[in-house]
């Protein structure tokens, strides 16, 4: 039962952030419990369910790069301002995103998740919008702490 409440609470945070930042899409990726792969688990404003099938390797794609670096990342005009191949960014392709800002979620001081906000137009996210994403990351870290670190952590 706690998992259902947890999912509902996570979706509320994502929906609220989507309204506050006035973006088209918000998604949460988490590193798998076993192995280094990263998967998108929650989304708000998605145009399809492809995000559920996207798995990226540690260090690859937006989620993998943020988890490996522990630093936020912004893209303002995808695919014009990227390094590597367009196909290295499956979440951008699946959701037809042109701009995004993504920030890491930390558990026990280690980046294990990513919160991404995106728009389907070219856009640069302001300092204020980036701060709202970071605040939502902190809220999600609290909500997901027991899930990521095991019950009672």
- Looking at residue 36, its pLDDT comes to 85
Classify residue 83 by its DSSP letter.
S
d(CA 33, CA 35): 7
Asked if 98 contacts 123 with a C-beta cutoff of 8 angstroms, the reply is yes
Q: Tell me: the pLDDT tens digits for 1-27?
A: 456 677 789 999 999 999 999 999 999
d(CA 6, CA 82): 34
Flag whether pLDDT at 128 surpasses 50.
yes
Segment 129-143 shows an average pLDDT of: 96
- Looking at residue 153, its pLDDT comes to 40
Flag whether pLDDT at 134 surpasses 90.
yes
Does CATH place domain 2-149 in 3.40.50.2000? no
Q: pLDDT-based confidence at 152, cuts 50/70/90?
A: very low
Q: What average pLDDT does the structure give for the chain?
A: 90
**Higher local confidence (pLDDT), 58 or 68:** 68
User: What's the token pair of residue 68?
Assistant: 């490996």
Segment 82-105 shows an average pLDDT of: 93
- Looking at residue 151, its pLDDT comes to 46
User: What's the token pair of residue 143?
Assistant: 């909500």
- Cα dist from 41 to 28, 109, 129, 135, whole Å: 6, 21, 22, 19
- Looking at residue 147, its pLDDT comes to 64
- Looking at residue 82, its pLDDT comes to 79
- Looking at residue 136, its pLDDT comes to 97
- Which residues does 66 contact at the CB level (< 8 Å), separation at least 6? 72, 73, 102, 103, 104, 111, 114
Q: pLDDT-based confidence at 130, cuts 50/70/90?
A: very high
What would the DSSP string read from start to end of 113-146?
EEEEEEESS-----HHHHHHHHHHHHHHHHHHHH
Q: In the chain, what are the domain boundaries? A: 2-149
Query: What pTM does this model have?
Result: 0.92
């Amino acid at each position: 039962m706690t998992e259902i409440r947890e999912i509902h609470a996570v979706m509320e945070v994502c929906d609220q952030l989507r309204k506050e930042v006035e973006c088209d899409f918000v998604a949460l990726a988490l590193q798998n419990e076993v192995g280094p792969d990263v998967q998108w688990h929650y989304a708000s404003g998605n145009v399809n369910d492809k995000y559920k099938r996207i798995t990226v390797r540690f260090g690859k794609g937006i989620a993998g790069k943020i988890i490996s670096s522990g630093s936020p990342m912004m893209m303002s005009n995808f695919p014009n301002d990227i390094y590597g191949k367009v196909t290295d960014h499956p979440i951008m392709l699946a959701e037809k995103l042109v701009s995004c800002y993504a920030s890491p979620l930390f558990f026990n001081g280690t980046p294990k998740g990513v919160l991404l906000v995106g728009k389907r137009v070219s856009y640069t996210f302001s300092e204020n919008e980036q701060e709202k994403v970071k605040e939502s990351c902190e809220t999600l870290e609290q909500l997901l702490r027991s899930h990521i670190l095991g019950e009672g952590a």
